[in-house]
Amino acid sequence: MVAVESLTIEENIAKLTDIMEIAFRWSLTHACSFDLGKFQLVHYTRNRNRYIPLPLVTPTHTIPASDSAKYLGLIMDRQLRRPTFGLPHQFVRQLYRSVVIPKMEYGLCVWYSPVVPTSSGRRRGSVGVLTQLGKVQNVACRLITGAFKTTPVAALNYLANIPPIELRLNQASFNSAARLASLPPHHPLQPLVRRCINFLKRSTPLH
């Protein structure tokens, strides 16, 4: 990479020409050659009135001026501005919360059992469903934060300001149960809910 600075593009071309002559002389004495077809030339300036796309002319090639150049994986345009591709992170978070989460939680009280720890250290409930939905949230959090794939899940949730998937699904399930438990006596579902409340679940069989 060669960079020069001057007040005009013409001066830039003159300085680059001198540098190229020195580089060519060096290559002759060191058995080295340059692939001029891969060379890129960009005149960086934000002054549109002073911009002239002058090429760099060498004895064997003419290197045209480009609007951008790629260096070490970074694309630098001639005005040194950083364009934004895709949605901003805050909009990705808003889409996830307003579109994806309602889709994931639709009918939650029917197909999801809250995941709770047991005395043996294992978890009881819809563990498999929780694992699959957790993968969806992990992808969303990485898109929101722009974090690396190796970033811990807890850090992703914190940086994206999104509750952990287990807490959110359990809370939604508990809220659904609370709504059913608070139904008025004349509601058609109230007898069924009362029957479930009175059901006693035993961890061991009776003898």
Grouped pLDDT means (10 residues each) for the chain, 207 residues? 82 87 85 81 81 83 82 72 65 91 89 88 89 93 88 91 93 89 88 74 54
- Domain extents in the chain: 9-77, 89-197
Whole-number pLDDT of residue 23: 86
* Burial group, residue 89, by CB count within 10 angstroms (0-12, 13-18, 19+): middle
Q: How many residues does the chain have?
A: 207
Whole-number pLDDT of residue 16: 87
Whole-number pLDDT of residue 203: 57
User: Cα Rg for the chain, rounded, in angstroms?
Assistant: 32
Distances (CA, A) of 196 to 29, 110, 182, 201: 91, 14, 13, 10
Whole-number pLDDT of residue 170: 92
Whole-number pLDDT of residue 73: 63
Residue 189 half-sphere exposure toward CB, CA atoms < 13 A: 7
